[in-house]
Structure 1
Amino acid sequence: MDHPTYASPSTGTGIDPAPVAGLSGEVLDWRFKALPADAWGLTAEEYLATKPSLSGFGTPLLTLDAGALDHNLRTMAAWCAEAGVLLAPHGKTTMAPALWQSQLAAGAHGITLANLPQLRVARAFGVDRLMLANTLLDPAGLAWLARELTADPGFAFVSWVDSPESARLMDRALRAAGAGRPVEVLVELGGPGGRTGARDTRTAVETAEAVRAAPSLRLAGVAGYEGALAHDASGPALATVREYLRRLAALHRLLADRYETPEPVVTAGGSAYFDTVAEELAPLAQEFPGTRAVVRAGAYLVHDDGFYQGISPLSRGAGRTPLRSAMHGWARVVSRPEPGLALLDAGKRDLPFDEGLPRPQLVRGPDGPAGAAGTVTALNDQHAFLRDGGEAASLGAVLRLGLSHPCTAFDKWTLIPVVDDADRPEPRVTALVRTFF
């Protein structure tokens, strides 16, 4: 039986809608810290039918904005179509099958993931096109993968490999598991001081030959991650990224006649430099017909008010329409122990902090939102230190916070309310997003 290659056009929805829809029937209870107690005992669908307002939720809280999510979906889909690249967004950002479904419905080619547990979540929800942006060497995990590929003829999968020995280890484990379908793999090229990936072209070519010699593997392209080599949008950082991408393109040219699929993949592109990725890799599709250039940006859907607001190509002028932050934190002033200091009831267990601290945006009050002042200078596990918040940060006041880095926001919440408009005086909760970390 013929099986789809990772790069071949999809013939389905990309995800099984039934288990995603089934999440609306999950009974809500104390496990979900975002929810008020009056939701306990109801299903998600039943609770949303009561048209709850945000003021009924306690703090701390993380919310998503429905309008911003829709805007970002459409903006990124249009940009990729214009740039001539496919999008396989990194699902680890949200680990939310309902959001994956919206990304696939908006035209995403597939979903990218980072490890075996994430793959298992995706397969539980029927995602049928997955890229593992990593090398899978766990024999038990490879045995599970072999069973998935055998059981589902429509499942398209590709993994990475960065050394001849890792190719041999994968092959040994897959053959021991009785794999019935070969696993497509991409040779990963790295860079000095970066993450994984072959550090030079010779090792990358030797890895490709090891893949070709492995009965259970198929050489399907090249891959890399430029985000490990730079962390800002300065001239030197962008030059480093471009030089690396040109090395990746050169590796693709070198291996072009060795691929074991008619539609090889060349992939790079986190959420910071996907414009440069498209400039350097998209032309390969014209040079080598059948080549598919794939970017893997994951943070675009939620965006932020911090790191990605400053570094995203769509904030730096690569597109006509910028992305919008779709996530906000909400925290209450619970102490004013000394002049100029207020303590909020949200900390490291609730909000992201690795790429910048939360920023006060507004104070929610009975007369509508008002401007917020001050600076969050530190987070403890369950508290934020707000300096110079002024009288608006009175005891009991609820502040909306701008956040930085969605990847470390979602993992703190198993259920996230979606509001119709976070700028309204009284936002309504229109959906509940379930995550699986």
Structure 2
Amino acid sequence: MQSFSRWERAMRLSATTRGIPVVDGLATEEIGNQSWQPAHGDLGLPALTLDEAAFAANRDLFLRWCSGAGVAIAPHAKTPMSPELARSLREAGAWGTTVANIQQAAVLLAHGERRLLLANEIGGLAAGRRLGALLSAYPDVEFYAFADSPAAVASLAQAAHLSGRSDISVLVELGAGRAGARDRVAVEAVIAAVLAAKGLMLGGVATYEGAVATPDADETARAIAKLMARTIEAFALVRNAAAGRPLVLSAGGSAYFDVVATALAPVAQRDGNASVVLRSGALFFADHGIYARAFAEVDRRGGLVIDGVRRSAAESFRPALTLWAEVLSRPEAGLAICGFGMRDASFDQGLPVPLRVFRDGVEQRGLARTLTVTRLNDQHAFVALPTDSPLTVGDIIAFGISHPCTCLDRWRVIYGLDAGGTVTRALTTQFG
């Protein structure tokens, strides 16, 4: 058999599975035993890595905060679409798992998740038939779904009928700026439709406060407060129609979880038979952009109180994702071209940020601070730098990203890294 060096083995990439090193006789499960380090050029670049310790620290931090705040968490699986990470969050204490559509539900159900919150309307009757076929294969799943109209309820009723279920929980969605019932009349219509449908039951209310956010912090605070008031009013209507039944109040993305908990946790506590379920997903990864700014705003609102101690969100949550790329060209003074682009990195909430530079596995300290990503092509990043910069072709740069959701969905595998920068495992993602 032909012999390959560690570098040669890592570079033999599959032509059909992006980013997964395929070596004769080497299974994906064995990748964590190869001692690969992206800083040493052991991986085909670009590559996306997960700091295992940072992810675990973010998980434990947020679960502790949730416990103290009187809320539960069903992390949104759409962020990484990794069954392994979803399972790890549930096993650490998450209430369940959130998905955005039927396809994502199918992936998570196939991998053993049995309490799902589908945080969206599913569509029309054809979607109801697809959901019914799916649920019929998993009769033990505890299933919740959003509805903001009688038409949405009809689709869920179709799913209940085809799956033979009598216990699909419907959360009446309140909304502004996105989906969701807009007024009391619409809420009452959804409640009436659920009560009249076979196979469905009222499960509570839901909303998404991020849809009303604006660049102005004070305006955002007023808009979220108004939405929370509408959500609480809708909850009272659902409670009147579902006396004695355990109910869910669900809200909370990764930017305003503290505001949601402050507004809704007292309502659930007074009710005595309700749970607040947040759906935050991206905060477990944090980042160097949009969520770094969001955590600074959490601090401006008072920070995190855990076990009676106030902590800084911006200092406590740690960015867990790193994009690694190589310098391909120094075509002119003041410019470097790196081997990644819009196909590899998020850019909707800010461009990647250079963090560290390595040459032959040795960090070039201070060099990253002189670099700025200015724009992206499909597979090229344009990096501005001083005209006398020592950055050279072959240098490997570690970049921080902004917005985990729109970065992770570009990858079919991400690599876990230990504290020393060595690959611990390959985590496959399952985006549709």
The TM-score with structure 1 as length reference comes to 0.87
What secondary structure, in the 3-state scheme, does the structure 1 residue paired with 2:78 have? helix
Is residue 428 of structure 2 the alignment partner of residue 434 of structure 1?
Answer: yes
1:267 lines up with 2:264 in the alignment: no
1:78 lines up with 2:64 in the alignment: yes
Quote the offset at 1:343 in angstroms. 0.9
- Residue 173 (structure 2) aligns with: 188
Aligned equivalents of 2:116, 2:167: Cα separation in 1 = 15
Matches within 5 A, 1:401-420: 401-420=399-418
When residues 187 and 391 of structure 1 are mapped into structure 2, their CA distance, relative to the original with a 3 A threshold, is: same
Which residue in the other structure is 2:26 paired with?
A: 42
- Equivalent residue, structure 2, for 1:368: 363
Please tell me the residue identity of whatever aligns with 1:370: R
Q: Deviations over 1:263-306 (max 9, x none)?
A: 11111101110000000001112221111111100001111010
What SS is found at the alignment partner of 2:250?
strand
CA distance in 2 between partners of 1:233 and 1:403 (Å): 23
Pairing partner for 2:164 from 179, 190, 207: 179
Q: Select between 399-408 and 211-220 the one with higher mean Cα deviation.
A: 211-220
Q: Matches of 2:49 and 2:105 in 1, distance apart?
A: 26
Range with bigger deviation, 181-190 or 268-277:
181-190
| DSSP 3-state at the match of 1:346 | coil
Tell me if structure 2 keeps the 8 A contact 1:342–1:385.
yes
**Counterpart residue type for residue 181 of structure 1:** S
Task: Name which of 39, 45, 53 aligns with 1:67.
Answer: 53
Deviation (angstroms), 1:36: 4.6
Quote the residue 2:376 is aligned against.
Answer: 379
The Cα of 1:260 is off from its aligned counterpart by: 6.8
Q: Distance in 1 between matches of 2:16 and 2:243?
A: 48
Higher mean displacement: 50-59 or 231-240: 231-240
Structure 1 letter corresponding to 2:326: R
Counterparts of 1:261 and 1:168, CA distance in 2: 25
The corresponding residue for 1:23 is: none
Q: 1:163: Cα distance to partner?
A: 1.0
- How many angstroms apart in 1 are the aligned matches of 2:412 and 2:396? 22
Instruction: Give 1:106's aligned residue.
Output: 92
Q: Residue 237 of structure 2 corresponds to which residue in structure 1?
A: 254
- In structure 2, how many angstroms separate the alpha carbons of the residues matched to 1:236 and 1:162? 25
Shift of 1:412: 1.0
Q: Match for 1:210 among 184, 189, 193?
A: 193
Do the aligned partners of 2:46 and 2:326 also contact (CA within 8 Å) in 1? Answer: yes
Matched-pair identity in % = 39
Instruction: Specify the SS of the correspondent of 1:376.
Output: strand
Paired AA for residue 311 in structure 1: A
Q: Could you report, residue by residue, the CA deviation over 1:386-423 in whole angstroms, capped at 9, with x for unpaired residues? A: 112552422221111110011011111111111113xx
TM-score by length of 2: 0.88
Gap regions ≥5 residues in structure 1: 1-27
Q: 1:360 to 1:353 in 2, by over 3 A?
A: same
- Residue 128 of structure 2 is matched in structure 1 by 142
- Unaligned 5+ segments in structure 2 are 1-12, 305-310
CA deviation digits over 1:179-234, x for unaligned, max 9? 3334211111112xx11001112211121111111112211111111101104572
2:46 is aligned with 1:51: no
- Alpha-carbon shift at residue 345 of structure 1 (Å): 0.7
Equivalence for 1:297 = 280
Aligned to 1:349: 343
- The question of whether the paired residues in 2 share the 8 Å contact of 1:65 and 1:419 is answered with yes
Closer, same or farther in 2 for the Cα pair 1:407/1:182, shift >3 Å? same
Q: Do the aligned partners of residues 144 and 119 (structure 1) sit closer, same or farther apart at CA in structure 2, a change above 3 Å counting?
A: same
Distance 1:351 1:95 in 2: 16
1:283 aligns with 2:266: yes
Residue 31 (1) aligns with residue 16 (2): yes
In structure 2, what is the Cα distance between the partners aligned to 1:166 and 1:106? Answer: 33
Q: Distance in 2 between matches of 1:41 and 1:357?
A: 38
Aligned CA distance change for structure 1 residues 83 and 93 (closer, same or farther; 3 Å):
same
Task: Say if 1:166 and 1:114 are closer, same or farther in 2 by CA, change over 3 A.
Answer: same
